[in-house]
């Protein structure tokens, strides 16, 4: 197996640092442009942790329908 040369090791290090810096900058820009004045906070309530405040409203969350009750098999099909 060929050994990495100092120039390839340096290039890999620089590429990794550049990628990490670009991703960090993108995360900061996304947070600054989120448009939320109240980020909210987590508080204990009734033995559970609850998010109080924030930009998320209950109508923003999808509602999962309740599972349907299982039905009995048709009478003309014998049970196994």
Q: How far apart are the first and last CA of the chain?
A: 62
Q: What is the pLDDT of residue 1?
A: 61
Q: What is the pLDDT of residue 14?
A: 95
Q: What is the pLDDT of residue 19?
A: 98
Structure pTM?
0.45
Q: Are 42 and 51 in contact (CB under 8 A)?
A: yes
How far is Cα 12 from Cα 19, in angstroms, rounded to an integer?
11
- 80 residues of the chain, pLDDT tens digit each: 667 677 778 999 999 999 999 999 999 999 888 777 887 899 998 899 998 888 877 788 888 888 888 777 777 766 56
């Amino acid at each position: 197996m060929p050994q990495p040369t100092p120039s390839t090791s340096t290039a890999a290090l620089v590429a990794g640092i550049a990628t990490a810096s670009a991703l960090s900058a993108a995360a900061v820009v996304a947070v600054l442009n989120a448009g939320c004045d109240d980020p909210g906070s987590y508080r204990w309530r009734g033995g559970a942790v609850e998010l109080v405040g924030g930009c998320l409203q209950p109508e923003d969350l999808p509602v999962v329908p309740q599972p349907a009750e299982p039905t009995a098999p048709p009478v003309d099909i014998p049970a196994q």
